[in-house]
Structure formats: structure tokens, C-alpha cells
Amino acid sequence: MDRIAQRLAALTGWRRLAAALLAGALTIVAFQPISLVPALWIALPALFWLLDGCRTWKGAFFTGWAFGAGYFITGLYWMANAFYVDAEAFGMFAVPAVGSLSIAMGLFIGIVCALTHAIPPAHEDERSYDLAAVAARRIVLFAAVWTLVEWIRSWIFTGLPWNPLGLVWSETRTPFGLPVIQVTALIGTYGLSFLTVLFSAAPTVLGYTPRLTRAWITAAAPLALMIVIGAGGALRLLLAHDETVPGVKFRLVQANFSQVERSRPSFWVKHLEEHVRMSNENRPADITHVVWGEAAIAFFLNIQDEARRVAAMAAPPGGMLITGADRGLRDESGRQSVYNSLYVLRPDASIAAVYDKTHLVPFGEYTPLRGIVPFNELTGMSGGFTAGGSLATLTVPGLPPFSPLICYEVIFSGNVTAGGEPRPAWLLNLTNDAWFGLSLGPHQHFAQARIRAVEEGLPLVRTANTGISAVIDGYGRVPESLALGTRGVLDAPLPRPASALTPFALLGNLTSILLATCGGAGALFFRRGDTMLRLRRLLPDKGKRAR
């Protein structure tokens, strides 16, 4: 391994950048639906050994930038599918747009690597007597800055917190991920990212002093920590309850119409009728609420009374229909505003509640700097959508209060419930991932929703027009789901919350920010050689004490 480290460190110029790009691209193997987390044991050590060859922070920045470009190109490639829904109008922009976004997002990783260079590589630190210790300090600093940068990109420029590294554990293919993500109820996704970076980058130290026992201990320590965290999570799951809310049972409808078909007005009536048919066909008598996906039907339900009357035929007697659809309003000047909304409809077609999406997708639902950027929204909505006021807690008859989340509003850790309002008893996520086809994107979106449920300790009901639809309990367990690209219905009760209030729900991302800050400060200011020298000065000399 030390030979591999030396060869990577010796790379220069385009060869170093190409190797960093490939290492960053490899990280996608650790994410859903592949979920081979040990791939990170190759990707992150490779990045560290490449950084060893960087003599300045500028070299470290560009190496990290290349790694970040690979990280996001493979993590965001699926966005290109949305441009081909209307290929004639937007197809030419697919590769430039997604490529530019990935390269821009890569700047965040470049910043991480540049700041990590505050601790020089082990072979440059002349005062160090323990190369493994220097490497360990660099790893801790890297993990701390990575975590803080992940948090920053969740809100800067409206935020795009896609694929934080801690998300690799939110998978269903193996029994290991579920116990590990239980820790997010305490430290959140970004705190788990901090631990995941330590776990993934720890083998780096074997590239410097592979024959020393101390190096192996350093490399194994984060793995042991993850095992302890997993064991704690397994214990939490053993003590978990399986209680459900009496008198509440959902039918989730996944009609699986392609976005190309959904965009054609000639299909709109058919889609509405098919949703109603699937909602009523062979429906058990104990179903109380039917849930359709985001923009499941292409009608303005607040003003198109006939469409609303037909949709309400899906509501069970004494129950409700919850669906996504657009909402149009005109002000006194005649200017129209369009909202991406969630409706709760009674069987008599009256509207029980409405929520307007507050966090819109840039270029998908609105165009930033519209006067400068010559680009229309991918949704085809002239002038774009208008953002709602804020997150809300809805209370409707027959249901505990819930927090509605439309599409990617569910990916914002610590920002899925309304502040200053009574705490909801569950989360509802309506989404339309039909834009992205049978790609990795919908799987990663579902993983984000799953980890939100664990963070908040609240069950999450998710209906996606093309999948993945499921009811997730407050521990992240998914008893049943409708697979991506399938048509069907899922009948399931509403689980009770896992806890009244998780530590994360109380403190939000403060815990992970403090964890990263303390870790970074410790890495910067703790130097083993300097510390031992100070201790020797404080202790009395053995020879003098003997005399």
C-alpha cells in the first residue's frame, strides 16, 4: 500500500487531476442503489495520497476540485434526463447544464482540500516523529471541513445538499445500514458524514508506515467506532415499537405515467380517471385516506371545479384525498401566480387544506436572475412557479397533524418541520421523480427521505408518481414499498412516532457543527511532539528527583 501511495503522490499535472477525477467518480458506487460502502476505502485514501504530492494550497485546491467534479458528475448525471422530456426545446442544454453544475459543485471539495493543506503532508512536517499521527490529524481536519462544507452547501445559493457522504448508510440492501443511521437521531446526517469520512479515509495511514502497529490501530479505530455505533443502533431497533395510529390507513397510488406522456394535454383526463380507478379498485373498507403524488394531475383544482369533483371521487367515505396539483391565483391587477401545491379534498369535493411548496427547484420551477439568464423553466410553466410562504403543519379531520413536503423539500436536514408551531406527528412527501426515469436519482431521493424520518423520529409517508412509494416508520424501517418504474397501490397504516422528540429534532444541525468544529480545532492545534515537550517541561527531572 505504501508503494501505491508513493506512486499517486508522484503524479503531477493532468495525470494527478485525472486520477483525482476517477477517484471522485468512484464514490457513486457507495451510494444507492449500489451501496458498496467499502468503495470509499479506495476513493478517499487515493485523494489523500494525491494531495501528498501538492506542495501548495493551490495544488491541493485543484486536486480537490477535480475529485469533486467526479463526485458530482456521477452523483448528478441523472438530472440530464429532465432535459430530454422536451428534447427539442432543452435537449441541447442537458450535457452543458449538468456538467457545469457538477464542476461548480466540485469547488466545494476543492475548498475542503485547500483548507486541509493547513496541516502539511506527513513527509513535509520536519518536526513530526510519527508520520501516522500527522496523517491522522489531516484526516480529522479533512472530515471536519468536509462536514462544515456539506452543511454550507445545504443553504448557500438556496442550497443543494445532494448526496452528503453520510447518506451511503441509508440503504435497504444489507442489514448494516439501518442500525448505523440510528445515530442521526442524535447527530444528524452531517454528523454521520463526519464519522463516515473518518471511517473511509483511515486506511490512508497505511500508506506511510504500514509496518507499525500504531498505524494499524489508527486505521482500525474509526472502523471500531462505526461497529460500536452500529451495535447501539441495533439495540435501539430491538427496543423499537411497532405501534400504529388507530383508525388511520392509507392507500398510496403510484400510477407510473412517464413524464413525456404527463406533459401532453391529450392525456390529462385519462390520467385523472386512472388515478380515481386505482384509488377505488379492490379498496379495503378500512382505508381512510388516499394519497397521490406531486402534480399527479394537471389541473388547477382550486378553480377547475369539474376536475376537482372527479378527483374527490377517490376519497373514501368519511375520509380524504391528498394529492399534488397546481394552484392558480390572480391578484387585483390581473397578474397570475401559479403554485406547486398539495390539496386535501373531502368526498364532497370541498378543499379541507392547501400547502404551497416553499423551496422551489432552480431552473426547474423558477429561473434565478430571469432578466439575465435566457432560459425557460423545464416544467414549461410560463413565468415559473411562485414560492409559498413557509413550511407548515397541517391539521385535518381524521389525521394527526403532519408536515407536508413536496419533492426535494425532504432533502434539507433539520428543515422539514415548521418552526414555532406544534410539532407534527408525521411527515408527508409527495414527489414526481418521473422527470428522471429509471436512473440513480430516485433511489438517492428515497434514501434522503428515509434518513429524515430517523433524524426527526417521525414516520414518513411518501408517494412518488413513478416510485419509490412507501410508508417509513420513525426508525427508518420500510416494511413494504412500490418499486421504481412499477404501477400499483400500497395499503398501509400510519406508524406512531419513534419518540416524542429526538435530540436532533431539538438541536438540529448544531450538534454536527460543534462536532466538526471541535474535531477540526483539535486537529489543527494538537501536535504530539509539541505536547510531549510541554509535558516534559512540567514534570520534574528524574535524575534530580533521585539525588
Active site residues: 294, 357, 407
Buried b / exposed e across 1-10, counting CB within 10 Å, b at 16+?
eeeebeebbe
CB 193 within 8 A of CB 164: yes
Strands 351-356 and 320-330: unpaired
60: Cβ–Cβ under 8 A, 6 or more apart, which residues? 51, 54, 113, 114, 116, 117
412 residue type, one letter: F
Report residue 200 CA to chain centroid gap.
19
Grid cell 448544531 in the structure block, residue: 510
Q: 94 is written with which cell numbers?
A: 442537458
CA angle 10, 13, 15 (to 5 degrees): 70
Strands 469-472 and 481-482: antiparallel
Q: 383 is written with which cell numbers?
A: 413565468
Expressed in angstroms, the distance from the first to the final Cα of the chain is 50
- Helix-strand-coil percent breakdown of the chain, rounded to 5? 50, 15, 35
445: Cβ–Cβ under 8 A, 6 or more apart, which residues? 408, 410, 411, 431, 433
Rounded to whole angstroms, what are the CA distances from 422 to 105, 136, 400? 36, 44, 11
Query: How many residues are given for the chain?
Result: 547
129: Cβ–Cβ under 8 A, 6 or more apart, which residues? 528, 529
443 residue type, one letter: H
CA angle 101, 105, 108 (to 5 degrees): 165
What element of type H or E holds 347?
none
How far is Cα 232 from Cα 96, in angstroms, rounded to an integer? Answer: 45
In the sheet where 460-464 sits, what is the strand order?
A: 402-406, 426-431, 460-464, 469-472, 481-482
Grid cell 469547488 in the structure block, residue: 107
How far is Cα 32 from Cα 59, in angstroms, rounded to an integer? Answer: 32
